[in-house]
A and B are shown apart, each in its own frame.
Chain A
Amino acid sequence: MQGFYCSMIQEIGKYFIFIGHLFTNRESFKTYYKLVLEESISIGIGSLFLVALVSTFMGAVTTVQTAFNMVSPLIPDYVISQVVRETTVLELAPTIIAVIYAGKVGSSMAGGLGTMRITEQIDALEVMGINSISYLVLPKIIASMLMYPMLVIIAGVCALGGGYVVGLVTSIISPGDYVYGIRYSFNEFTITFALIKSVVFAFLVASISSYKGYYTQGGALEVGISSTQAVTNSVIAVLVSDYLLAQLLLGQ
C-alpha cells in the first residue's frame, strides 16, 4: 500500500514537471498559432456532433424524469424547466460532457502522442533541438481550453432545446411554461460558474491525456493502455475538481 502511495506521488510530481516544460517555450509565436488553429478545428468540429447529440438527449431525459417526479398538483409546471435549467447548465453540460470529451478527445490525444513516441517521432523532434513537450502538447491544451467552453455552451443550448422539444411532443409541459420556467429567477452566475468549470476541465483532460500519451513506453499494446489510462485519470480528475470547485465557488 505504501508503495502505491509512493508511486502515485511520484506520478503526480512527474506530471507537474511535465506541465513546467510546456512553458520553457522555444518556437516562434507563428508556429504555435498555426498548430493551435489546427488542433482547435480537429477538437471543436470533431466533437460537435457527439456533444450535440448527447446533450439534446440529456435535456430531454431530464425533462421527462423531472416531470415524472413532480406528482403534487400544487407545484406549477414551470418548475420542471427550472430544474432542467439548473441541472443541465450547472452540472450536466460541463461535467457529463467532460466525461464524453475525455473519452473522445483525451483518448485520441493520448493515442496520437503514444504512437509518436513509440515510432520515435518525438525523438526526431528532440534531436532537431525542438522542445517536443511544448511543441506538441501546448497547442493541444490551448486549443482544448478555447474549444471546450464553446462546446459546453452548445451543450447547454442543446439540452434546453431537447427539453423543449420533448415537452412539446409529449405535452408534459407547454412551451409557454417551459420558457417561463427557464427564465424564472435566473442567476447569471451559474453560467459563469459553468464556464469556469469547463476551462478547468478542458485543461485537465488535455494535459493528463497528453502526459499519459507522451510517456508511453513499449509498443502498440502500451499505446492502447495509455489511451485507456488517459480517459480514466482525466475522468477522476474532472470529478474531483468538480467537487472542489463547487465547494470553493458555491459553498457557504
Chain B
Amino acid sequence: MIEVQHISKSFGDRTILKDVSGVFEKGKPNLIIGASGTGKSVLLKCIVGLVKPDDGHIFYDKRNFSEGDRDTKIEIRREIGMLFQGGALFDSKNVEQNVRFPLDILTPMSYEEKMDRVNFCLKRVGLENANKKMPSELSGGMKKRVGIARAIVNNPNYLFCDEPNSGLDPQTSILIDELIDDLSEEFKMTTIVVTHDMNSVMGIGERILFIYKGQKLWEGTKDTITHSGVKELDDFVFANKVMRSLRTK
C-alpha cells in the first residue's frame, strides 16, 4: 500500500500539483487518469522520488519515503519496477540485456537463473523472439512491452506504469492491461497505472483517481465513474462517441 499525503509541486512559478492525497492499495491496479498535461507523470515521478515534491509525504507500507535517508530510499527503490512513458530502454543494450539488467545489478542469481526469468518475462509480454534485437530496431509498442518486462523482472513489490498501452493496438493493449492486473494480484504488488485510455479504465479500473489541472477531483471505481456528477470527469469520460451512447442508454 502506498499513501500519498498533500503533495504539491511547482516548476518555477507554474504550479503543477496542488495538494494531492490518495491511497493506492495492494493487489490491484490503481489508476491515475486525467487529460494530457495535467501532471500525471509528474505525480508518478514524485511518488518514486525522481522529482522532489515541494510539500507532502509519501509512505510505502508505512515506511516514510519522502523523509527517509538515502539508504531507506535505495532499499525501497530496489522493490520498485517502473515503466516509463517512452520505455526508457538502454540504447546500448539489446532486449535481453535490458530486461536482465536489474537482475545483474541487484541480485546474486546465476546466469541460467537470470535467463530463465528474463525469458519468462519476455514471454508474458508476448516477445519470445526478440532477445537479440537492439532498442532502435523495435517498434514503439515493442519498446513498451520490453519496458514492462524489465519492470517486472525482479518481482517488485511496487509497480508503476506510465501509459503502458499508449501506442499499442487495441488487442495488445488489452493483453497488457490484463497482464498488469494479473501480476498485481498474483504477486500482491501495489500497482499504479497512469493512463488516459478509457478502455483500460473500464477494463481494470478497480480504483481510479482523477486528476484535473494538478488537483485530485474524484476517486472511485469503474462502476461509479459514469455517474460521478463531476463535470470535468464527465467531459473526460464521455469524450468519445461510444461512451456517450452508453450514457444515454
B78 within 8 A of A: yes
As a 0/1 sequence over residues 103 to 118 of chain B, the CB contacts with chain A under 8 angstroms (1 = contact) are 0111000000000000
- In the bound complex, do residue A121 and residue B105 qualify as a contact, i.e. CB atoms below 8 Å apart? no
Tell me which of A115, A116, A130 contacts B105 (CB under 8 A): A130
Q: How large is the interface on A (under 10, 10 to 19, 20 to 34, 35 or more residues)?
A: 10 to 19
A127 within 8 A of B: yes
Cross-chain pair count, CB within 8 angstroms: 51
A11 within 8 A of B: no
B31 within 8 A of A: no
Chain A residues with Cβ under 8 A from B80's Cβ? 127-129
- In the bound complex, do residue A123 and residue B77 qualify as a contact, i.e. CB atoms below 8 Å apart? no
**Minimal Cβ-Cβ distance residue in B for A31:** B105
Tell me which of A119, A127, A130 contacts B48 (CB under 8 A): A127
Chain B residues with Cβ under 8 A from A126's Cβ? 49-50, 77
- In the bound complex, do residue A129 and residue B78 qualify as a contact, i.e. CB atoms below 8 Å apart? yes
Tell me which of A24, A115, A120, A129 contacts B77 (CB under 8 A): A129
A246 within 8 A of B: no
Q: In residues 109-123 of chain A, which contact B (Cβ within 8 Å)? A: 115-116, 119-121, 123
Chain B residues with Cβ under 8 A from A124's Cβ? 82, 84, 88, 90
Q: How many residues of B contact A (CB 8 A)?
A: 25
Closest CB pairs A-B (n = 5) = A129-B77, A120-B88, A129-B78, A124-B88, A129-B74
Starting from the known contacts A116-B90, A121-B91, 8 additional A-B residue pairs (CB-CB under 8 Å) come to A31-B105, A120-B86, A124-B90, A126-B49, A127-B80, A128-B78, A128-B80, A129-B75
Q: Which of A's residues lie within 8 Å of B, judged by CB? A: 24, 26-27, 31, 115-116, 119-121, 123-124, 126-130
* A-B pairs with beta carbons under 8 Å apart, 28 shown: A24-B70, A27-B105, A31-B105, A115-B91, A116-B91, A119-B91, A120-B84, A120-B85, A120-B86, A121-B89, A121-B90, A123-B45, A123-B50, A123-B84, A123-B88, A124-B90, A126-B49, A127-B50, A127-B82, A128-B78, A128-B80, A128-B105, A128-B106, A129-B73, A129-B74, A129-B76, A129-B106, A130-B105
